[in-house]
Amino acid sequence: MENVKISSFQLFTLIYIFILGTTVIFPVGADAKQAAWISIFFGLLSGLPLLLMYYYLNKQYTNLLLTEYCIKILGKYIGTMIGILYILFFLYGAARDVRDVMELTPLFLYGTPSWAIAFMLILPILYGLYLGIEVIGRTSEIFFPYIVLTVILVVVFVIFSDLVKIENLRPITEPGWETVLRTTRKEAWMAPFGEMICFTMIFAYLKKPKLILKVGVAGVVSSGLVLVLIHILIFSVLGSEARNTSIAPLLRMVQKINIGDIIQRLDAFFMIWLIVNVYFKVTVFMYAAVIGGATIFKVSKSYLVIPSGLIVFITSIFIAGSYTAHYAQSDFVLKNVYPIFAVYIPLLLCVVTFVRNKIKKRKPRSAENF
């Protein structure tokens, strides 16, 4: 663990950008048709208990990272093994997000090979990892106003371009509540909100550990609501059919912006905005992996930066053959693999800790009785 601290505002900005991340680009929850935004909203709601769980764990072991208290709770061998699994999971998550950007390459740099894009994206990430979480936190603080202002601008532009058609959202629950909930469980729950597990590797750096829950909830709720808002906007502009079949519905919506023939074709600018989002998302994932490796293998973080960068780079290229395969794989992973890491293992850790605490508390009492 690095010997630095980050401020609560920095953590907030990291969480905010992380949640928006790539989820804002892709047609999340396409199964739920025009009710996908409700799925995301439910995802937000069901993400909060996860946050509570992570907070509980961190509260028991302040100043320790997930990989460290795994060992404390489950013992040296099982704990280390689970820690290594987590590192692989984080690396996979990072690679998946890099792949997301690679899939978008033809939309903004036609003709550039997508591996070059991945390579260029990973370079500043490695530089950031090398400099440490303090610098990453401060950098997210600098880019935060830009991220927020751009969203506000887009909302304003879309409204002023007269693109919003409320009827596109109706009937609100056409697919039925069951489908909406199933989509939540399948995609929207894990995709941005379950990935918050990365922050168990970062919470310990907070200057005021008491504020973790507050900052975490504030970050998740605000960015979750922005996410919902953007998806409502996309639906009302594009309609459910166009939205769910497009690779990047957000870009498609932005392309439609046209105010007085002057403000138009902003999609390239938007691509930049997305890159900043993805940059921080991948950075957080990779940071979690690198710092986890550093704590488990007891080496300096700097040694792990380049190897993990290589792993992510190669994985992101060979993870899937095509966009469809990537998408199908994402579906499968979000449904089956993510919950293990984001829900079940933390839950197990929570239960073990809880029970242990109970036993510990009872012991002295029983000693008194004798």
Partner 1 sequence: MKSRKPIPLLKLRKRKHSQPGQSKKDQNLNINQNEDTDQEQAVPIHLHRELKKNIEYIKQMVGNSSDIVIREFDLGQTGEIKIAIFYTDGLADKSFVNDFILESLMVNIRTANLGSDVLSKKNIYEIIKSHSLPAGEINELVDFNKVFYHILSGDTVVLMDGFLKGLSIGSRGWADRGVQEPSSQTVVRGPKDGFSETLRTNTALIRRRIKDPNLRIETKQIGKKTQTDVSIIYLKDVADEKLVQEVKARLKKINIDAILESGYIEELIQDETYSPFPTVYNTERPDSVAGGILEGRIAIVVDGTPFVLLVPALFVHFFQSSEDYYQRADIATLIRFLRYFAFFLALITPSAYIAVTTFHQEMIPTPLLISLSSQREGVPFPALVEALMMEVTFEILREAGVRMPRAIGSSISIVGALVIGQAAVEAGIISASMVIIVSLTAISSFVSPTFNMGISVRILRFIFMFLAATFGLFGIILGLIMMVLHLNSLRSFGIPYLAPNAPFILKDQKDNFLRLPHWSLHSRPALINQQETVKENTASPKPPQPDEANQ
Distance CA 244, CA 36 (A): 10
Stretch that binds partner 1, among 19-27, 37-45, 121-129, 152-160 (CB under 8 A): 121-129
Q: Which of 37, 108, 235, 287 binds partner 1 (CB under 8 A)?
A: 108
Q: Does 272 sit near partner 1 (CB under 8 A)? A: yes
Q: Does 131 sit near partner 1 (CB under 8 A)? A: yes
Report the site for partner 1 in 243-262 (rule: CB under 8 A): 261-262
Q: 43: closest CA among 194, 171, 199?
A: 194
Q: Does 124 sit near partner 1 (CB under 8 A)? A: yes
Q: Does 168 sit near partner 1 (CB under 8 A)? A: no
The single-letter DSSP state of residue 129 is H
CA-to-CA separations, 189 to 19, 137, 149, 209, in angstroms, rounded: 11, 25, 26, 26
Partners of 259 in beta bridges: 263
Q: Which of 279, 285, 338, 341 binds partner 1 (CB under 8 A)?
A: 279
Sequence-ordered strand ranges (E) for 175-269: 258-259, 263-264
Whether the bond between 171 and the residue before it is cis, its omega within 30 degrees of 0, is yes
Q: Does 287 sit near partner 1 (CB under 8 A)? A: no
Rounded to a whole number of angstroms, the minimum distance from the CB of residue 139 to partner 1 is: 5
Q: 67: closest CA among 335, 291, 267, 340?
A: 291
Q: Report the Cα–Cα distance between both ends of the chain, in Å, rounded.
A: 43
Report the site for partner 1 in 10-39 (rule: CB under 8 A): 10
Q: Does 141 sit near partner 1 (CB under 8 A)? A: yes
Rounded to a whole number of angstroms, the minimum distance from the CB of residue 311 to partner 1 is: 20
Q: Tell me the chain's radius of gyration from C-alpha atoms.
A: 21
Stretch that binds partner 1, among 5-13, 156-164, 196-204, 298-306 (CB under 8 A): 5-13
Q: Which of 3, 142, 322, 360 binds partner 1 (CB under 8 A)?
A: 142
Stretch that binds partner 1, among 18-26, 47-55, 68-76, 118-126 (CB under 8 A): 118-126
Q: Does 128 sit near partner 1 (CB under 8 A)? A: yes
SS3 state at 206: strand
Distance CA 82, CA 340 (A): 11
Distance CA 260, CA 269 (A): 18
Total binding residues toward partner 1, as defined by CB under 8 A: 34
Residues of this chain that bind partner 1 (CB under 8 A):
7, 9-10, 108-109, 112, 116-117, 120-121, 123-124, 127-128, 131, 135-136, 138-139, 141-143, 261-262, 264-266, 268-269, 271-272, 275-276, 279
